[in-house]
Amino acid sequence: MIETESKFDPTARSSAGAIGLMQLTPGTAKGIAEATNGSRFRLSDLTDPDINVRYGAWYLEHLVQKYRDEKLALAAYNAGEQNVDSWRAAHEGIQFAETRAYVAKVEQLKTIYRRTYPKQLGY
Over the stretch 51-95, which tens digit does the pLDDT of each residue have?
A: 999 999 999 999 999 999 999 999 999 999 999 999 999 999 999
* Residue 5: active-site member: yes
The one catalytic residue among 3, 5, 61, 81: 5
| Nearest CA among 63, 68, 73, 109 for reference residue 94 | 73
- Whichever domain contains 62, its CATH number is 1.10.530.10
Q: Is residue 2's pLDDT more than 80? A: yes
In the chain, the number of structural domains is 1
Look at residue 121 and tell me if it is in a domain: no
| Secondary structure (H, E, C), 7-24 | CCCCCCECCCCCECCCCE
Look at residue 104 and tell me if it is in a domain: yes
Look at residue 123 and tell me if it is in a domain: no
Look at residue 35 and tell me if it is in a domain: yes
Over the stretch 91-120, which tens digit does the pLDDT of each residue have?
A: 999 999 999 999 999 999 999 999 999 999
Look at residue 44 and tell me if it is in a domain: yes
Rounded (to 5) percent helix, strand, coil in the chain: 65, 0, 35
Domain of 30 in residue numbering reads as 2-116
